[in-house]
Chains A and B, each alone.
Chain A
Amino acid sequence: MQQMKASEKRNRKRPDGPDKVTGRLNYLTDLHFPHMLYGKIKRSAYPHARILSIHTEEAEQLPGVRAVVTFKDVPGLNAFGIVTPDQPVLCEDTVRYVGDAVAAVAADTKEMAEHACSLIAIEYEPLPVVDDPAEALGAATPKLHPDGNLLHKAHFYKGDVDDAFHKCTEIVEETYQVPRQMHTYMETEGGVIVPEPDDTLTVYVGTQHGYKDRFQLSRILNMPEEKIRIVSSPMGGSFGGKDELNIQPYGALLALASGRPVKIHQTRQESVISGLKRHPMRITMKTGVAADGKIIAHKVDILADTGAYSTLGPAILEFAVEHSTGPYVIPNVKTEGVSVFTNNGVAGEFRGFGGNQVTFALEGQMDRLAYRLDVDPLEFRRHNLRETDEIGPIGQRIASTDGAYQVLQSIKEHRQLKIKEENEMPDKWKVRGIGTAITMHGGGLGYGRLDPAGGRLCLKESGKIEAAFGFEEAGQGILGVIETIVTEELGCSVSDLSVVIGDTSLVPSSGSTTASRGTSMVWHALQKMKEPFCKLLIEKGEALTGVEGHRLQTGKGGLVVTAHDGEEIPIITYEELAQQSTEEEMTTSTNFDFPTTPDPIDSGHFLYTFGAVLAQVEVDLLTGKVKVIDLDQAIAAGPVVNYLGYKGQIEGGGVMSLGYTLLEDALMSEGEYMTQNLDAYLIPGIGDVPFTMKVEAIETLPEDDPYGPRGVGEIGSVAVAPAIAKAIQEAVGYWVRRLPVSSEEVLAEVSKRRINPWTKAMQ
């Protein structure tokens, strides 16, 4: 981790930067329209109840109240859900979690709307609460949905594990428990929904897939999709949490009912109660090694708590199943996953998508086995690591990659340096430990799922080259990525370019801004559009200037000819080109699918990225508190598009997972959230993070790899927890099996082992 590569110099300042650092950027929750009303959503008073009656009369009569809506006012399908619409927009007879919406109000002020909400009288008959996922499938457990409480089952079988365990010389079995993490995007859900004079609706609300929102809203409102415009960007963070619909349906219903723009901006409490979370899982792994140190048997049981409704729960479970063998070659595998409905909130899409949970368990197994075998944990991993052309984790062919070996090697070298570092301990009641972990993570949605992408290039009359993509900017830096890739591929300059995203009226569908697919898809789109687009421009340029087309190329400011000394000689500017051509605008667009495996194995991924993490912790022997003092990562994800953005994604993902490991859990008791704001739900602050974090980007891909840069939105968050867990074990001997790490448990272990500052646990 020392040398600066060429790519590290590509530290482009982000195009959205100036407006962000000056506060000039209007987020969608900052918008203000004339005659705008404020909306409030009345959510359930119980985690599970039958609704006996709903009375809104009193609320309706309150001066300043312009609309009150209930299930009766939903013109179309009273349900949503990206794949299976099973969540009521407005509940009619049953509520299944505390975030379920029963009514919504629009009024002149927020206070009036709030007051009106409190006047809506709902009579409930409370029902027994299903809050333990382990009991969800029990015969006596109340059914939350017509088909019962099973959301989804997924499995992967290979070889014969039972037989293989007999041949093992060492077996480790452990149950891991991971928490309900909250995305905690700083901008809570919200925006403004505007009924337009031509009977269309404009929805200014952040989301990760504008076209999907349009589809869902059209179904709910019984309104043709063409009449709905979704402006979905920018967002103050999302991390998967704003992928599903949130306040859009309520804003839309209220806007249509009142005929006026309606703003809804959820408070943090409302966001905690209604928003998605990461799936809590209980994962049991039994892993066995043969005499030669090779893992030959791996049995995995996953129980996921999906909460009240589906959203992307099934896909997340399948992702977890696929990733539960990680980058290792294991001949006998039996993985079974179950995701169940409960009355605990709603779990759904979240950075890492099920990978973070199983990676914590799998890497925990690797460290335990290495410890039992008394071998170096990284050496043990290398011994079982996949080869360049190894088949994928669920038997599918995947794009050839050396990533696993590259990140492992890199983190190993880094660890050697770290161990040698002179560590002066600040005081005798603190001990340190270093842990490492690695992972592989699939990009895109996987085989068998619609995963279309697309983009458009157009020379506008103004002379600007417009690059249009249906992606959203949630902070990840897609605008900077588009700017970098387009200017580099076309040779034009930033000032020649205008980038348009996140508005269904202006951009083509590019699929969702999820699954680390944005960067990859922009690059692919450019590979497809570059030639035809340049050809259009050059043909036009040849006709206008008489310069032979084969000498012309797109350059800075316009078409140019390259002289012998490499200098670009301007021939015609883009503006002249646009204005002198009589026909319509020159446009190239493309539609294609995210690359998938050629093998028909459902949900299998094809493009993988790899990450390795080194964590160093300092454990306070008096309090059991764990402080992370190093969090360094090596990432293999192909060429870096913008180093500053790349590093930011890895550091940010790393710290988010530091929170997952040590601090964060949206605790629930009997279906109620025990934490409702940031005073009790703690995310890492500046004092909780290492002051410097290293990010090593490994850019080399196998020769002839045609797939270009992979996205890094998720990979930096995946293998952090197991690295920290191992570092804690190195420091005090405590094997973490439950997140977030409990100081009490650490302390108990410390006293049990009578660890004194002068006898460090494992050395």
Chain B
Amino acid sequence: MDKSDAVNVQTENVPVIDLNLTINENPVKVQVEPTARLVDILRDELQLTGTKISCGIGRCGACSVMIDGQLVNACLTMAYQADQTSITTIEGVSRDQEMDPIQKAFLEEGGFQCGYCTPGMVMAVKVLLEEVPVPTEEDIKMALSGNLCRCTGYGGIIRAVQRMAAENSEVR
């Protein structure tokens, strides 16, 4: 087999699509393969490295982002699926240096150690609290069951969410 030919075939045959996204309220245009993973687009193309990658198969939640308000694993989202959507990543959660109350709660309750699961965890908690401002134990377990943390044993994370729940129930 002629090697250079084989290679040419390979590179030439890869189509690219124009992706139009809104990321953290900013319009973004990128050219990528239709099957590129959103997590790679975020991390490598756009250098939004707050979104992490750990398992790559939808089991750990380190890559959690919000697409049109829904929590998704960016490692399971293909470029073409993300086209024309509005994405919020961890970088979009705290605006102008002002932390989200969820982030403050994580800070104060020891909801992180190495911090690698934290962006995904914060995203999952954000989605949870938007839906259920005062979650029960069951709600918390359900909502965070797709996010693994190896450091904390979840104690600090649970305390952070409970603090938010307490604050939310006072407001009501």
**A interface residues (Cβ-Cβ under 8 A, vs B):** 11, 13-14, 16-27, 30, 32, 58, 61-63, 110, 115, 183-188, 234-237, 239, 265, 267-268, 474-477, 644-645, 647-648, 651-656, 658, 677-679, 683-687, 689, 691-693
Contacts and interface: CB of A to CB of B under 8 A. Distances in A.
B69 interface: no
A237 B51 CA distance: 16
B149 A691 contact: no
B59 A30 contact: no
A237 B116 contact: yes
Main SS at interface, chain A: loop
B164 interface: no
Interface string B129-153: 0000000010011001101111111
A32 B48 CA distance: 11
A25 to B, nearest CB: 6
B123 to A, nearest CB: 9
Nearest to A655: B153
Given A20-B115, A474-B114, A268 B155 contact: no
Contacts of A684: 153-154
B34 interface: no
Nearest to A268: B55
Contacts of B49: 23, 26-27, 30, 32
Most buried by A among B107, B154, B158: B154
B118 A686 contact: no
Given A21-B115, A23-B51, A678-B59, A647 B150 contact: no
A477 B145 contact: no
A648 B110 CA distance: 7
A746 B51 CA distance: 41
Contacts of B155: 647-648, 651-652, 655, 689, 692-693
Given A237-B150, A647-B155, A186 B107 contact: no
Interface of B: 3-4, 7, 10-11, 40, 43-44, 47, 49-57, 59-60, 62, 89-91, 93-94, 99, 103-104, 106-119, 122, 137, 140-141, 144-145, 147-158
Contacts, number: 190
Contacts of B43: 30
A234 B157 contact: no
B54 A186 contact: yes
A644 B112 CA distance: 10
Given A268-B54, A678-B148, A686-B140, A21 B113 contact: no
B99 A693 contact: no
Contacts of A183: 150
Most buried by B among A22, A475, A683, A691: A22
B54 A115 contact: no
Nearest to A659: B150
A309 to B, nearest CB: 24
A602 to B, nearest CB: 33
Nearest to A239: B150
B27 to A, nearest CB: 21
21 contacts: A14-B110, A16-B115, A22-B50, A22-B103, A23-B91, A24-B91, A61-B3, A61-B4, A185-B150, A186-B52, A186-B60, A186-B150, A236-B114, A237-B116, A268-B57, A651-B152, A655-B152, A655-B153, A677-B56, A685-B144, A686-B145
Contacts of B110: 11, 14, 644-645, 647-648
